[in-house]
Amino acid sequence: MTTAETRAGALPDLADVPARELRVAVLGVGMMGADHVARLYSRISGAQVVAVSDAFTEKAEQVAATVPGCRVIGDPLAAIADDDVDAVLIATPGQFHEEQVLACIERGKPVLCEKPLTMEAASSLALVRAEDEYTARTGRRLVQVGFMRRFDPEYAELKALIDAGGLGEPLVAHCAHRNAAVPPHFTSEMMVNDSVVHEVDVARFLLDEEIAAVTVLRPRATRRAVEGQSDPLLVLFETTGGRMVDVECFVSTGVGYEVRTEVVGEDGSAMIGLDAGLVRTSGGQAGATRSTGIAPDFRQRFGRAYDIELQRWVDAARRGEVDGPGAWDGYAAQAVCAAGVEALRSGRRTEVRLEARGGTQS
């Protein structure tokens, strides 16, 4: 089917989807994609992985072999177009997202795209507009972006508390984003685009407003910092409503995966991310201690969030809906990160350039 035919209204008929399982193609089966294939196969109901695609054929074959009935389709665009594929999960490197998400919109197929939506704000905005056009014709939305923290039970509880007025008017938030280690190619720009981006989405989600300006400060760097990298970074977001969010992003702590968020309101404050699961007390020569474990990386810390995210994505796709952060959220995050990278380089407060929302994005 050509783009013109799709635009003319020859949309795939998903009417029978609720009666059967959603047939999903997973594009990109590196660490995250392979994790999602295993999750869809073993923990998510109402879906089956029918195809995988990856630039490394051997890897695709290995992953496909773990799921009965799953095929390898070499060309990701062919996987999107395949008549036996109802919905697409994109976990390819970011530079391929624009073309792949657009192909999903043109085919009318629900898509869950890992962040980033695309590599720059302008191309993310183009996807927002393409989906708007589709929605105006069909009444349906298609695009979800993989900001999984919104599905984490702790974040969901914090959001519900704020929305119920439990903290009074939220004024300030403090975020810490710490990784034990990152690969040697991880630059300061990547700290903004890959790590701080989650705090961007958290701030927008919890405070329900856009980020208007970003400042980035570079404290003394750790001896573990990758060459040329400023690690840690301190990032300040100013929201359109005058609230402020500070973020400590520290990606080579040598410790574990620590993600904390504290929201301070007029009538109280609340914090999440203390990893307080099992609290252990022990004695010893140095004296008694009370301790808890720390998750080694985001797959453990947010495992439950990924499960909930995928189950809700599948359930919503079978109803012809989207139930999570959409293309607009992906675009807004890219616009803030672009300002963040500019602020990192210039050392100056940088305003976020965000186009008017318009269209059908809600």
Residues that bind ligand ISE (CB under 6 A): 179, 194-195, 198, 251, 298
The Cα–Cα gap between 339 and 215 comes to: 9
Q: Residues 17, 318: contact at Cβ < 8 Å?
A: yes
Find the residue with minimal CB distance to ligand ISE.
Answer: 195
Distance (Å, rounded) from C-alpha 306 to C-alpha 40? Answer: 10
Closest CB 126 distance from ligand ISE, rounded Å: 23
| Four-CA torsion 179, 218, 355, 149, nearest 10 degrees | 20
Q: Provide the CA 194 distance to its chain's centre, in angstroms.
A: 10
Task: Provide, rounded to whole angstroms, the least separation between the CB of residue 198 and ligand ISE.
Answer: 6
Comparing CB distances to ligand ISE, the nearer of 167 and 192 is 192
Q: Which is nearer to ligand ISE, 77 or 190 (CB)?
A: 190
Q: Least CB distance from residue 303 to ligand ISE, whole Å?
A: 12
Closer of 35 and 321 to ligand ISE (Cβ): 35
- Token output for 300: 């453990």
Looking at residue 220, what DSSP letter applies?
Answer: P
CB atoms under 10 Å from CB of 291, counted, come to 10
The smaller minimum CB distance to ligand ISE, of residues 134 and 205, is found at 205
- The residue among 93 and 268 lying less far from ligand ISE, judged by its C-beta, is 93
> CB 179 → ligand ISE: shortest distance, Å?
5
Q: Which is nearer to ligand ISE, 106 or 231 (CB)?
A: 231
Q: Classify 138 as helix, strand or coil.
A: helix
The least CB distance from residue 201 to ligand ISE, in Å, is: 11
CA-based R_g, the chain, Å: 21
Strands 71-72 and 87-90: unpaired
CB of 32 to ligand ISE, least distance (A): 8
C-alpha 133: how far from chain center: 24
Least Cα distance to 174 among 256, 237, 231 occurs for 237
Task: List C-alpha distances in Å: 49 to 16, 24, 58, 105.
Answer: 18, 5, 18, 20
Closest distance to ligand ISE from the beta carbon of 102 (Å) = 23
Whichever of 131 and 258 has its CB closer to ligand ISE, that residue is 258
